[in-house]
Structure 1
Amino acid sequence: MWLWITGIICFIVAVRVIYNRRSGVCTSKKLLDGKTAIVTGSSAGIGKETASDLARRGARVILACRNVQKAQKVADDITGTTGNGQIFVKQLDTSDLASVRKFAKEIIDTEKELHILVNNAGIVAPSVKTLTSDGLELTMATNHFGHFLLTNMLLDLLKKSAPSGVVNVSSDGHFFGKNLVVDDLNYEKRPYPSTFACFGQTKLPNVLFTVELAERMEGTGVTTNSLHSGAVNTEIFFKTNKITDYMFGFLFKLMAKDEALGAQTTIHLAVSEDVENISGEYFADCKIAKRSEQAKDRGLAKKLWEMSEMAVSLTQEDHHYAGK
């Protein structure tokens, strides 16, 4: 019995040690004095660690979060640990298009420059189909539609601030998003899938959005890349009431990267000189990584963009790219 338990413990420790040692780390020493960054979903987890790193480099950082009270505590903590007094909190719920528009308008009205936009906010799919007040499926709205609208509304500011960049936090979960039906992103014509399939079908659009955005931004000085953070011990799995999510959360707590290590690829794409002229790629462990076949489909990326425009009611005033 004890031998069996010891074996399991040794296996868990070995997996954690090996996985962490093989994980990529951002080695750039670049400072960001005079630069402005927005990190969505930065009140915890990878977003918090990303915001903290950017603050240590001297950036003016805006924490764009749903829970402003929680985010303000994080902002105060970042200021205390980095000495950077340019950390601000603004309310943003990416599942609510009105909230996205309000946030984006405030940024446009008050910020002269925007150099880094990190689209990090995300949720695990609920076990049953849930619609937002806009009639959009909750997971797709939070993980894709909200960031799609936000990015489009801020593109003009990003272009004026070039060189600048958009970092889209995706996941290898996008491999589970196969058979994406871009004209039925809200599951009106087909059954609501399993949690993993639903999550994957929101992470695949992150990659496809990046591909199409890179093409539309070509020659503007605005780059964009997506990424897989790896298996990271964050609170995301503990925000639902599903036993399976708690189980994954417990396993990740034992075997996965910590949040600081999980944020390294995001940070790398936001600051590293090595990626200044790279756009439209998918990264993991701070290097270009393999993506699914669907994620390479340029036609699918273009169609997703068009369907997303309709879903978020993108107006002509929101168009700040070289339309095709």
Structure 2
Amino acid sequence: MYAVLLVVLSTFIIFALYQKTKNAICMSRKRLVGKTVIVTGGTAGMGLHIATDLARRGARVIVACPFEDEGTNARKHIVKVTGNDDVVYKHLDLGSLQSVRQFAADILKTEDRLDVLLNNAGVGIPGDFLTADGMNFIMQVNYYGTFLLTLLLIPLLKKTGKPGEASRIILTASVLHRIAKMEMENLNRTNYWNKIRMYGNSKLCLVLFGKELAKRLKGSNIVVNNIDPGLAGTRIYKSANTVLGNITILFLNLFFKTPWEGAQTTLHVTLDEEAGKVSGEYFINCKIGRPSKQACCDKTAKVLWEESVRLVKLTEDELQHCFK
């Protein structure tokens, strides 16, 4: 019995280490002087690595999160290690539609361009409850808040993009979108879903949103793509249980991806010239992959879009302003 367990464990470790050697790295040397990027969740984990890399390339970097101390400390860290003073922290709580609207209004008022919107922020499985807006917390932070923010910022992205150099919208999906179950009438229910599946549902919604938005923005000099960062050891795994979360983070860092390695596909899709020419795609390990079959259903994407517009209370005038 022990011999069998040893063989199984050894095989797994060899496989995991092999996977580690296959982690792709963004090779772009592109500079971003004169460009403006927003990184939601750019104050910790993969987001902090992404924001730091882009600041090092000369971009104006706006990092957003709901925690003021974390945000100000992250800004100081990025400025210190990159020497780029053009880094700004702004408050954004994706679990509040009011906060999303305030953030977007501030950006539209104070910024004259937006080259890249990196929707990196998200939560794991901290709880199963409704927000003040009446939506499931995990769904709102991971999907509905991002949906609203992205649409509100489209006018500035559209103003910035030009032929041959499109503005870019990047949505952070997950391999767990493959375990999702799309029941439109139950997406926001509490005490219904297993929390891991609820997380998967939120990520499936992002993939469907990316595909539908890419269609609606065709010809607008904006491209939209999803990325799957892979299994990276970030603090999101501590959201349900700190001890098990720390063990999981250590395991993933050793055998799959560190947060820096997890950031590489996002950086590739942000910087790569060819990635800036495609829209509606799903990138994994710095190349185009294929999402789940559910994520490729045009009918589901359209129904989700209409329900999302209703839930986040986007007006017809706002939609027309986005897509005129």
Question: CA separation in 2, counterparts of 1:272 and 1:246?
Answer: 33
- The corresponding residue for 2:189 is 187
What's the CA shift for 1:5?
Answer: 11
Question: CA separation in 1, counterparts of 2:303 and 2:243?
Answer: 36
What's the CA shift for 1:242?
Answer: 6.9
- The corresponding residue for 2:170 is 167
Aligned residues with identical type, % of pairs? 37
Deviations 1:245-280 (A, max 9, x none): 555334324322111110001111111102121000
Residue 258 and residue 11 in structure 1: after superposition, are their counterparts in 2 closer, same or farther (change >3 A)? farther
What's the CA shift for 1:317?
Answer: 3.8
Q: What letter is aligned with 1:153?
A: L
Question: CA separation in 2, counterparts of 1:92 and 1:223?
Answer: 23
What's the CA shift for 1:59?
Answer: 0.5
Question: Is 1:302 aligned with 2:305?
Answer: no
Tell me the secondary structure at the aligned position of residue 183 of structure 1.
helix
Alignment of 1:21-32 (within 5 A): 21-32=21-32
> Which blocks of at least 5 consecutive residues in structure 1 are unaligned?
none
Question: CA separation in 1, counterparts of 2:214 and 2:310?
Answer: 20
- The corresponding residue for 1:314 is 314
Question: CA separation in 1, counterparts of 2:56 and 2:15?
Answer: 31
- The corresponding residue for 2:68 is 68
Question: CA separation in 2, counterparts of 1:5 and 1:88?
Answer: 51
What's the CA shift for 1:3?
Answer: 9.8
Question: CA separation in 1, counterparts of 2:5 and 2:292?
Answer: 38
Deviations 1:70-94 (A, max 9, x none): 1211111111111111000000011
Question: CA separation in 1, counterparts of 2:278 and 2:100?
Answer: 28
- The corresponding residue for 1:145 is 144
**What is the root-mean-square deviation of aligned Cα atoms in Å?**
2.3
Question: CA separation in 2, counterparts of 1:135 and 1:284?
Answer: 33
Question: CA separation in 2, counterparts of 1:208 and 1:243?
Answer: 34
Equivalent pair of 1:117/1:166 in contact (CA under 8 Å): yes
TM-score (norm 1): 0.92
Question: CA separation in 1, counterparts of 2:4 and 2:33?
Answer: 54
Segments ≥4 residues shifted beyond 3 Å: 2-17, 241-250, 320-323
State the number of aligned residues.
Answer: 318
Question: CA separation in 1, counterparts of 2:120 and 2:51?
Answer: 11
Q: What letter is aligned with 2:173?
A: S
- The corresponding residue for 1:235 is 235
What's the CA shift for 1:193?
Answer: 1.2
> Which blocks of at least 5 consecutive residues in structure 2 are unaligned?
none
Deviations 1:221-243 (A, max 9, x none): 00000011001011111133376
Question: CA separation in 2, counterparts of 1:78 and 1:247?
Answer: 28
Residue 73 and residue 12 in structure 1: after superposition, are their counterparts in 2 closer, same or farther (change >3 A)? farther
Deviations 1:176-195 (A, max 9, x none): 113x022332127xx52112
What's the CA shift for 1:16?
Answer: 4.9
Q: What letter is aligned with 2:129?
A: T
Q: What letter is aligned with 1:165?
A: R
Equivalent pair of 1:217/1:321 in contact (CA under 8 Å): no
